[in-house]
Amino acid sequence: MKISDPVLIEIVKRRRLRFMICRNCGARNAITAKKCRKCHSKNLRPKRTEIRAKKG
Ligand SMILES: [Zn+2]
């Protein structure tokens, strides 16, 4: 699956995948979350994924 739509890429870049990942269970949480909504762990890390746009 590849994203070739420039509009979609722009949207993804703006959002920048802003959420927190639980180190305990791997669940996604809101960027404002202090605790995991699944396992209530405080062991969260911010998701910082680089946008890797493929050329061509
Ligand atoms: Zn969790």
Tell me what pLDDT residue 50 has: 58
Rounded to the nearest whole angstrom, what is the distance from the C-alpha of residue 31 to the centroid of ligand 1? 14
Query: Cα of 46 to ligand 1 centre, how many Å?
Result: 13
Residue found by looking up tokens 């890797």 in the block? 52
Tens place of pLDDT per residue across the chain (56 aa) = 676 888 877 776 666 667 899 999 999 999 889 999 999 999 999 887 655 666 65
Q: How many residues does the chain have?
A: 56
* DSSP conformation letters of 4-16: --HHHHHHHHHHT
**pLDDT at position 29:** 93
Contacts of 46 (CB under 8 A, 6+ apart): 19, 20, 21, 31
Find the 28 Cα to ligand 1 centroid distance in Å: 8
Ligand 1 mean position, distance from CA 9 (Å)? 29
